[in-house]
Amino acid sequence: MNSDQFEWNEAYEWGVVQIDREHKKLLKTLQTISMCTPTTYTKELKRQIIKELRSYMNFLEYEEKVLESIAYPSLQEHKNIHKKIAQQLSLMLKNISELSMLQSKTKVVAKQLLVSHLAEEDIHVKHYLLKNEITLAEEEIEILVARI
């Protein structure tokens, strides 16, 4: 598997620190999976991957709350995509024991959902933020999300 497909691209950036950080973490986790060998795929690494994938699944809900708080017009479509991503991540977690299956599922997730989502769908969010001159500092997000 080519780990280059998991490289961060500035085009993916929302300009919202917390969200960009989580997207970067996910790509790093996918890159880690892609680079594993049977020798390097230890129990500890499996635990770390499980933790990271579950964390990202929780993050999807947080991202949706942020989008809701800024009245993002395509929120429902975005939620539908997130649902597909979460389903694929769940499949990855079910195949965590067998490295070859995990890597196979990672390719699917990366190609069909995550990279396309980051490169195609999230760019619309970025444009919405810029067009509406919305800047979201960490404190602002916490206040907005708390209201929902």
pLDDT in tens, 17-73: 888 999 999 889 999 999 999 999 999 999 999 999 999 999 999 999 999 989 999
Report pTM. Answer: 0.83
State the DSSP code for 6: G
Superfamily of domain 3-147: Hemerythrin-like (1.20.120.50)
Q: For residue 93, what are its two tokens? A: 């977690």
Cβ pair 60, 45 in contact under 8 A = no
The model's pLDDT over 71-115, given as tens digits with 9 standing for 90+, comes to 999 999 999 999 988 998 998 899 899 999 899 888 888 776 776
Of 29, 87, 30, give the one whose Cα is nearest residue 60.
87
- C-alpha 102, offset from chain centre: 17
- Listed in sequence order, the residues at least 6 apart from 112 whose beta carbon sits closer than 8 Å to its beta carbon are 88
